[in-house]
Amino acid sequence: MTDLMSRFDAALGDIFSSPIVQLGIKAVGLYLVVLWLAAAVWAYRDMRNRSEMELVAYLAAALVVAFTPLFFPLAIVVYRIVRPPETLAEAWERRLSGSALEAQAEALQGCRTCGRRIDAEWLVCPGCGTKLHRLCAECGQLIELDWLLCAWCGHELERRPATPLEGPSPQPAPLGRPLAPVGIEVSTTSAAMSALPSTPGPGRGAERAASASGAGAR
């Protein structure tokens, strides 16, 4: 058994002492070192794309370097777990898309009459028919109702009075004499009746004329 082990050790020694095997071992070691340093550079650049702080990128590279060429794959796994989930470009695109959605939501305004959601390029409200915009007679662009000049071609627009908000129109007052309190109307009527001269009726006037003619005959 001892002779067998000694022969095995001698064979391994002959293999590792071979110049070709020594060259292969050195090549593998050099490859691991290059891969280790490349992983550190990759961690630095990747963190620079994910964070605005340069110190954090240096810490990511130092993490890979600290794990040595033998254990740097474990450092890569740890780094991929703790790094930010999105890059700065992805975060900017996300904020840009959010701003675009907010702009679209703001473009959908509400009708000033019925409150229905309307688009900024509509001419009339489809719910109540309120006129929202008008077209320039010169260039055909969409313009506001209160503009005096077209912002696109400079054409002078027709002056239009501002349209007030629609609401319940007041009922017109009935024709005739103005209303007055009951007490004032009664007192005014009584005073007017008392000011009129008292005229005798037709029956009483005939009786008085007959009595006057009888007295003259006597």
Distance CA 23, CA 132 (A): 84
pTM of the model: 0.46
* Per-residue pLDDT tens over the stretch 27-50: 988 999 999 999 999 999 999 999
CA distances (Å), 194 to each of 56, 187, 188, 191, in order? 108, 11, 10, 5
Distance CA 83, CA 159 (A): 62
Residues in the chain: 218
Distance CA 53, CA 88 (A): 12
* Per-residue pLDDT tens over the stretch 179-217: 444 444 444 445 445 544 544 444 444 444 444 444 444
The overall longest dimension of the chain from CA atoms, in Å, is 197
Sole residue written with tokens 């008008």: 134
b/e per residue 186-200 (b: at least 16 CB within 10 A): eeeeeeeeeeeeeee
Spell out the domain ranges in the chain: 2-90, 109-163
Distance CA 199, CA 63 (A): 126
Which two three-digit tokens encode residue 38?
Answer: 């490349």
* Per-residue pLDDT tens over the stretch 96-139: 998 888 877 766 677 878 878 887 788 898 889 888 888 998 89
Note the pLDDT of residue 161. Answer: 55
Which two three-digit tokens encode residue 178?
Answer: 């103005």
How many CA within 13 A on the CB side of residue 63?
21
Cα-trace Rg, the chain: 53
Note the pLDDT of residue 8. Answer: 67
Q: Which of 146, 149, 128, 125 is nearest to 138 (CA)?
A: 149
